[in-house]
Amino acid sequence: MSGDKIIIFDTTLRDGEQSPGASMNMQEKFRLAQQLVKLNVDVIEAGFPIASKGDFDCVKNIADHIRDVRVAGLCRCNKKDIDVAWDALKNGEDPRIHAFLATSDIHLKYKLKKTREQILELAVASIKHAAKYTSNIEFSAEDATRSDLDFVCKVFEAVIDAGATTVNFPDTTGYAMPDEHAAQIKYLMGKIPNIDKAILSVHCHNDLGLAVANSLAAVKAGARQVECTINGIGERAGNTAMEEFVMAVRTRADLMDVHTKVVTEQIHTASRLVSTITGMFVQPNKAIVGANAFLHESGVHQDGVLKERTTYEIINPSDIGLSKGNIVLGKHSGRHALK
Ligand SMILES: [Zn+2]
């Protein structure tokens, strides 16, 4: 495998569950967590412990019983949230506290009604508090892509000094474009003096259909953790689809020069499980996991694939755990396929 490893932070159980109509019960979340371990993701974000008693119990159940993966819990930047998150997480294997605070002026002015100085203070105090429990701490600058970049740099530098070991730069509203997102990551890498002491992460939303493209661009620019969900479920138009990101990195290793530790043969099973549990089925033409993703209907394509699969397939279906045939007989099929 070439280049650096990209940390896959799966948030299907947290951001994914925020998809309208996708709520999951404790058993369903646990089953999905077991499948995420089979996929070999690096971090599972299991929920937002302070959000409800149910959410707390789900995170605790996963942290208590799931092994071979780091379990993360989300919290706002205040002591109570952090204490409750740690209480849910503490029995996990190297559990991660994930604290977030908005940095954009629009969120500061209308949502938080705080000044930049107050935000900086609150972020540092919260990370220092979390550091009493663990050194596995992630800080997210909510709405980072619409924030003043120099302010984000200042906050990231301060929280790394306070003990954050991952700093996440979320495109909370799905507003960024790939070249812009890459430039933002490059700017942070060049400007934050202690960035070598933390992993720079991205968390993209798909409002403009660019979550996967933005994540790939960010990785090329130096990001080393990608937050994503199975089938791309999540708030509004969803998050970076893990299967698309992982298979793009693998298929275009020649351009990406990074790798993930995901066991891709488990992708199809994971996708089906998420669809079944949430009732959110992927559209047939969805990349990688759609029902038609590996089907060839036109006679010319079928003839090619039967002679040599790679004429029209850039991914071997078995790489994502599919074993069935890839030819469908339709009105565009030819004699060769019929035979
Ligand atoms: Zn999100």
Is residue 54 located within the same domain as residue 134?
A: yes
Q: Last residue of a domain, which of 247, 278, 309?
A: 278
Identify whether 292 is part of a domain. no
Domain CATH code at residue 36 = 3.20.20.70
- The secondary structure of residue 229, as a DSSP letter, is B
Distance 134 CA to ligand 1 centre (A): 24
Is residue 127 located within the same domain as residue 258?
A: yes
Distance 143 CA to ligand 1 centre (A): 9
Identify whether 230 is part of a domain. yes
H-state helical runs in 135-241:
149-162, 178-191, 211-221
Identify whether 190 is part of a domain. yes
Identify whether 39 is part of a domain. yes
Identify whether 215 is part of a domain. yes
Query: Is 331 buried (19+), middle (13-18) or exposed (0-12) by CB count in 10 A?
Result: exposed
Q: In this structure, which amino acid lies at residue 64? A: D
Q: Note down the domain range covering 257.
A: 4-278
Is residue 128 located within the same domain as residue 239?
A: yes
Location of structure tokens 């149910």: 54
Least confidently predicted of 47-56, 90-99, 290-299: 290-299
Distance 318 CA to ligand 1 centre (A): 31
Cα dihedral sign for 11, 106, 214, 291?
Answer: positive
Is residue 207 located within the same domain as residue 314?
A: no
3-state secondary structure 260-297: CCCCHHHHHHHHHHHHHHHCCCCCCCCCCCCCCCCCEC
Is residue 151 located within the same domain as residue 225?
A: yes
Q: What is the pLDDT of residues 243-286, one digit of tens each?
A: 999 999 999 999 999 999 999 999 999 999 999 999 999 999 99
Paired residues of 72 in beta bridges: 45, 96
- Report yes or no: 159 and 123 within 8 Å, Cβ to Cβ: yes
Is residue 153 located within the same domain as residue 9?
A: yes
> How big is the chain, counted in residues?
339
SS3 44: strand
Is residue 174 located within the same domain as residue 267?
A: yes
Q: What is the pLDDT of residues 315-324, one digit of tens each?
A: 999 999 998 6
Distance 142 CA to ligand 1 centre (A): 9
- Please state the pTM of the whole predicted model: 0.96
Distance 130 CA to ligand 1 centre (A): 21
Distance 140 CA to ligand 1 centre (A): 10
Identify whether 287 is part of a domain. no
Identify whether 293 is part of a domain. no
Q: What gap in Å lies between CA 97 and CA 76, rounded to an integer?
A: 10
Distance 115 CA to ligand 1 centre (A): 23
Q: Is 3 left (phi over 0), alpha (psi -120 to 50) or beta?
A: left
Distance 331 CA to ligand 1 centre (A): 42
Total domains present in the chain = 2
- The secondary structure of residue 235, as a DSSP letter, is S
Encoded tokens for 174? 């799905």
Identify whether 184 is part of a domain. yes
Is residue 262 located within the same domain as residue 148?
A: yes
Is residue 33 located within the same domain as residue 113?
A: yes
pLDDT at 195 over 80: yes
Distance 206 CA to ligand 1 centre (A): 10
Q: Which protein residues have their CB within 5 A of the ion that is ligand 1?
A: 15
Q: Is residue 301 within a helix (H) or strand (E), and if so which, with residue range? A: helix 299-307
- Report yes or no: 148 and 105 within 8 Å, Cβ to Cβ: yes
The pLDDT of residue 337? 72
